[in-house]
Amino acid sequence: MPLDKNLYFDWAATAIPDKEILSAALAKSLEAWANPSSVHAAGKAARAALEEARKNCADVLGVQAKQLVFTSGGTESDHIPLLAILNRPEKGNVAVSAIEHPALREMSDELKKCGIEPRFIPADKNGFVTPDAVLQTVDEKTLFVSVMAVNNETGAIQPVKEIAAALEEKYKGKRKPRFHVDCVQALGKIPIDFLNEPGVDSAAFSAHKICGPRGIGLLYLKKEEEIFLRGGGQEGGARSGTENLFGAIAFGECLKKYAFSTSKENPRLKAQKEWTASFIKELCAIKGAAVIPESRASLSQEESCGAIADRFSPWVIQASFKNIPGQVMLRALDAKGICVSTGSACSSKKASRPILEAMGVPIEQRETSVRFSFGPATTREGMDALLAAIKEVCAAFN
């Protein structure tokens, strides 16, 4: 059955590719087919195309081109700065939020084998990691801190600027741990205006979340750092391996088309806020349905619009449905041609829901929760169709 883009609500897992951008990027990369590290004319042409793509990305993100490293995706962009601590002679600890993506949460746990203590910064019941929670977790032996910009399951926007400032103040005059921000779910969804904050040292991005190809990511490094993983020395030594020119070109073009500037008056963002506020209100009117966290729906519709704009991404909603296991709701909607998920695609084969567990969500809610995520092709009509389908499924079980 061909996909109806209006009925695709799993954008947080991957975005529908922009065929026009990808086709143009492929054509350009086929013209500049040589290895960008080669010093002959063909290699120089490929290098010029790669650096043009890097500059396109830097211009949108408001950083210097030399601060951006092309990687294989968000996971590698998270791993590179985390694993860099293995170069340090002293052993210490790393502090990552309990609601972090598995790329950081599970990799941090693996570092125990290398003598590094993993510490997990607690989230409150609404899914937020506060600066105080960060400060209570770190100490003089902390080497690395990571808090994601937007949570991939609840849409909670974390106070990155405030956390960065708190770390700067705490470690004033001392060696500060690296502060890393996973921006995978923020890119193209909310304004990213914190990369130049004094306390932010690195950030991760992924192209396939903004209609680009899989297998290409970006790592923002505020300044050069000794990298643990070694190889041919490409990307300034930060990420070895022959560069993915097609992916880099496509990423740059997708950034120009889909990423928001620091302005919060983006028309598409404004429309999604309104649609999501209405969706939440109607969803909560369904018997047995609840938004996670419940506080997201506790305000009036007018107030909720503002709350969503400030504290939650309007592109992600987590909801539970009493007496309907998440997998059952997923299959029932899938039978109607509607695509949703029960959480992170990276954890779709696992029964546990660590992010919801970290928020203290009761097990019965965790087991009946579903994630709805939206993107550039989402329409109000499509969201209305989703609501109608949810009502039909709930009616059959209650």
Question: What residues act catalytically?
Answer: 346
The whole-angstrom separation of Cα 281 and Cα 308 is: 12
Regarding beta strands 217-221 and 68-71, do their DSSP bridges make them parallel or antiparallel, or are they unpaired? antiparallel
Q: How far apart are CA 207 and CA 185, in angstroms?
A: 11
Record the tokens describing residue 154, joined without a space.
Answer: 């609840």
Q: Are strands 142-146 and 93-97 parallel, antiparallel or unpaired?
A: parallel
Contact at 8 Å (CB) between 221 and 202? yes
Dihedral angle over CA of 20, 23, 25, 29, nearest 10? -170
Location of structure tokens 């910009």: 149
CA separation for the pair 340, 318 (Å, rounded): 11
Rounded to whole angstroms, the Cα distance separating 78 from 76 reads 5
355: which 2 tokens?
Answer: 């992010």
- What is the CB neighbour count within 10 angstroms for residue 51? 13
Q: What are 316's two structure tokens?
A: 């992600």
